[in-house]
Amino acid sequence: MPQPRPYKVALNGYGRIGRCVLRALFERGAAAGFEIVAINDLADMASVEYLTRFDSTHGRFPGEVKVDGDCLHINGNCVKVLRSATPEGIDWASLGVDLVLECSGAYHTREDGQRFLDAGAPRVLFSQPMASEADVDATIVYGVNQDCLSGDERLVSNASCTTNCGVPLLRLLDQAIGLEYVSITTIHSAMNDQPVIDAYHHEDLRRTRSAFQSVIPVSTGLARGIERLLPELAGRIQAKAVRVPTVNVSCLDITMQTVSDTDAPEVNRILREAATSGPLKGLLAYTELPHASCDFNHDPHSAIVDASQTRVSGPRLVNILAWFDNEWGFANRMLDVAGHYLHTAAPRTDTQLSVSEEQ
């Protein structure tokens, strides 16, 4: 049977998120509905190939990767590797891309996004929150508000991994039992803005300290990011973050003062039912087993509720804990949002034969 032509996408930035997005795309296979045509990163080709094949966190790439000139062949697919320091250094239109996945984390304003559009990109999906609501046409958390996309947007943000974990949970519980106030602590694995041994940092003295010797409080924009998506909680939510000496997988410790009286069994029932049916199925998971963080490495869910950690003090002070793979879960949401975005903006009617039919 003829199959719809896959959407053509390019990656700008090939660090942790960029490589996870590419790997998730190939692990999904044809069902992903994408063809990756280019990667832009300043790394040399040997490093691009090596870091695609071998990953200390997610293991070896489950396929064939080799280099031929400026092309990275992945399972027989040629992905052109570019090395431009700026968006305008690439003629995105000549690549025929439907979407640029901006995974460098270096661009945060509408002016930054416009540089991609001026260079021929038809639309851009950012892997980071933008500086303000005015800097993007939409910020999307898949499972919550992807249906607000009209197809006219050209600059869209995929929010952050912590926002993708927290927003579905808060929205769900606010609708079920009502939330008056919320306090969140992000317990986050070390990131690439932290040194392995003590070293200078351009803005944060705490981040001069070794990532693997301390638990380190850091600043976070999580509360403001949640308020953008759940304005009904504006002024009633606060957040803080600590980095811990692990390589991957993080969690949110969420404390809520509720409108209605409740207890731990009711809270867990709400979360369990949402994980098994409805719009959050496949995005939210639920467990009662005695897990540790490493159990959720390479887990594609946005949030995994640890029911063993649910606590209720009095009738209205609720505390829950939710795990998330801050790399792999987020990379999968990038693909989910990209697919919905492109289906809305540029639905395909042209087809191509599948590989089996061509043979």
- Count the residues in the chain: 359
User: At 252, which helix (H) or strand (E)?
Assistant: strand 250-258
The two structure tokens encoding residue 99: 């979407």
Give residue 187's pLDDT: 99
Specify if 143 maps to a domain.
no
Q: Is 197 exposed, middle or buried (0-12, 13-18, 19+ CB in 10 A)?
A: exposed
Give residue 112's pLDDT: 98
Region 100-129: mean pLDDT is 98
Q: Is 159 exposed, middle or buried (0-12, 13-18, 19+ CB in 10 A)?
A: buried
Specify if 153 maps to a domain.
no
Give residue 52's pLDDT: 99
Catalytic-role residue among 20, 103, 161, 251: 161
Q: Rounded to an integer, what distance in angstroms lies between the CA atom of residue 162 and that of residue 52?
A: 25
Give residue 5's pLDDT: 87
Specify if 144 maps to a domain.
no
Q: Where are the alpha helices (DSSP H) in 154-254?
A: 161-177, 222-229
The two structure tokens encoding residue 348: 């395909």
Residues 182 and 239 in one domain: yes
Residues 58 and 170 in one domain: no
218 has a pLDDT exceeding 50: yes
Residues 189 and 268 in one domain: yes
Q: Rounded to an integer, what distance in angstroms lies between the CA atom of residue 303 and that of residue 284?
A: 5
Specify if 322 maps to a domain.
yes
Q: At what angle do helices 45-53 and 16-28 cross, to 10 degrees?
A: 60
- Name 151's Cβ contacts closer than 8 Å, sequence gap at least 6: 344, 345, 346
CATH number of the domain residue 217 falls in: 3.30.360.10
Backbone angles phi, psi at 87, to 5 degrees: -60, -40
Give residue 14's pLDDT: 99
- Please tell me the total count of domains within the chain: 2
Specify if 264 maps to a domain.
yes
Residues 277 and 234 in one domain: yes
Count CB neighbours of 82 within 10 A: 16
167 has a pLDDT exceeding 50: yes
User: Is 161 noted as a catalytic residue in this protein?
Assistant: yes
Q: Rounded to an integer, what distance in angstroms lies between the CA atom of residue 162 and that of residue 323?
A: 10
Residues 209 and 132 in one domain: no
Specify if 149 maps to a domain.
no
Residues 93 and 224 in one domain: no
Q: 296-309 b/e with 16+ CB inside 10 Å = b?
A: bbbbbbbbbbbbee
The two structure tokens encoding residue 346: 């540029």
Q: At what angle do helices 328-345 and 16-28 cross, to 10 degrees?
A: 70
Specify if 93 maps to a domain.
yes
Region 87-94: mean pLDDT is 98
* Binding-site annotation, residues: 16-17, 41, 127, 326
pTM of structure: 0.94
245-295 per-position pLDDT tens digit? 999 999 999 999 999 999 999 999 999 999 999 999 999 999 999 999 999
With beta carbons less than 8 A apart as the criterion, state whether 263 and 312 touch. Answer: yes
Give residue 3's pLDDT: 67
Residues 31 and 109 in one domain: yes
Q: In whole angstroms, what separates CA 53 from the centre of its chain?
A: 21
Give residue 354's pLDDT: 31
CATH number of the domain residue 33 falls in: 3.40.50.720
Q: What value does the mean pLDDT of the chain take? A: 95
Helix (H/G/I), strand (E/B), else coil: 25: helix
Through-space distance between the first and last CA atoms of the chain, rounded to whole angstroms: 13
323-358 per-position pLDDT tens digit? 999 999 999 999 999 999 999 998 865 543 333 333
Q: Where are the alpha helices (DSSP H) in 145-303?
A: 161-177, 222-229, 264-276
Give residue 1's pLDDT: 54
Q: Rounded to an integer, what distance in angstroms lies between the CA atom of residue 234 and that of residue 55?
A: 40
210 has a pLDDT exceeding 80: yes
Q: Rounded to an integer, what distance in angstroms lies between the CA atom of residue 80 and that of residue 77?
A: 10
Residues 210 and 336 in one domain: no
Give residue 201's pLDDT: 87
The boundaries of the domain holding residue 114 are 3-136+331-358
Specify if 26 maps to a domain.
yes
* Binding-site annotation, residues for NAD(+): 16-17, 41, 127, 326
Q: What confidence category does residue 4 fall into, taking pLDDT thresholds of 50, 70 and 90?
A: confident
Residues 103 and 181 in one domain: no
Q: What confidence category does residue 108 fall into, taking pLDDT thresholds of 50, 70 and 90?
A: very high
Residues 130 and 229 in one domain: no
Residues 90 and 201 in one domain: no
Residues 314 and 335 in one domain: no
